[in-house]
Structure 1
């Protein structure tokens, strides 16, 4: 269950969220900043319900619109689940303005089959190495001329909490 983030973290992440929105050419509304701040604070991808629980005063429709706007702007991405629930993530938790890029979301995910939490598989020290490896595999398997624009990889298993 997602808890409401405390005020100092919220303030810090809202400032980052506002800067990310502006850098992406998106109007930094209060709702968008709040939603993005919750996603930046999360250590994993969150469902609409989890974001709604973290922001109980935000209208459900406004939340859906904010999530769609963040996705359309390339700030977040949607991860489809086997349970037909999308989860949303910034891709690099915690994030910064310099990581805003359409390419940032070409990474894999780990889904816990017990608790259904989804985690992004990012290598902060070598962010392009998995993407380069997958692109090289694509070229090797299919030949020259193929270029990926989106990579979806999900590893399923048990998270550290559920494995014990």
Structure 2
């Protein structure tokens, strides 16, 4: 029976099951911390900082959380977003780029950052890696090779815009 066909008593159980499947498919050792962190990222509507995660997981020590986030990032199950405030934020999802030379997949989409509350949201739908690579070729010419595409649109998220 597939994950989709199973009936879970709660959305949290379904997210934990999805996280376990993704860890298994990525050939990553399944630990309670990794499952918990990945399940949370899978359900998130925005990227979370380490501190956001630490506040949510008061029962998990900081080092375990750092290691879980690093493992998920290395496996391509999550990605790390560098903010202007020098705080990394994490979001779920396999990276959209293509791995080369057995390297980890590349981060190939943009982000929206709210300048009021500092929340960061992934822009997967407009971050089509092929379109971005084509734009790079047109702007710079053939021969340039990108390994990461990083762009950020800044503005106000829906919640902050309503507070105006």
Greater percentage in helix: 1
Structure 2 runs not aligned, ≥5 long: 1-8, 98-105
Structure 1 CA distance for aligned equivalents of residues 62 and 120 of structure 2: 22
Structure 1 CA distance for aligned equivalents of residues 84 and 29 of structure 2: 33
Alignment map for 1:1-164 (pairs within 5 Å): 8-91=10-93, 100-101=94-95, 103=97, 105-123=107-125, 130-164=128-162
1:78–1:87: 8 Å Cα contact kept in structure 2? Answer: yes
Most deviating of 144-153 and 76-85: 144-153
Aligned CA distance change for structure 1 residues 55 and 8 (closer, same or farther; 3 Å): farther
Structure 1 runs not aligned, ≥5 long: 1-6, 92-99
Structure 2 CA distance for aligned equivalents of residues 102 and 136 of structure 1: 15
2:96–2:109: 8 Å Cα contact kept in structure 1? Answer: no
1:110–1:119: 8 Å Cα contact kept in structure 2? Answer: yes
Larger Rg: 2
2:96–2:129: 8 Å Cα contact kept in structure 1? Answer: no
2:79–2:95: 8 Å Cα contact kept in structure 1? Answer: no
Structure 2 CA distance for aligned equivalents of residues 162 and 48 of structure 1: 22
2:78–2:95: 8 Å Cα contact kept in structure 1? Answer: no
Higher relative contact order (CA 8 A, sep 6+): 1
State how many pairs are aligned.
Answer: 146
Most deviating of 48-57 and 149-158: 48-57
1:7-60 Cα deviation digits (max 9, x unpaired): 822211111111111111110111100010111111010011111222211111
Q: Describe the SS at the equivalent of 1:105.
A: coil
Structure 2 CA distance for aligned equivalents of residues 84 and 146 of structure 1: 28
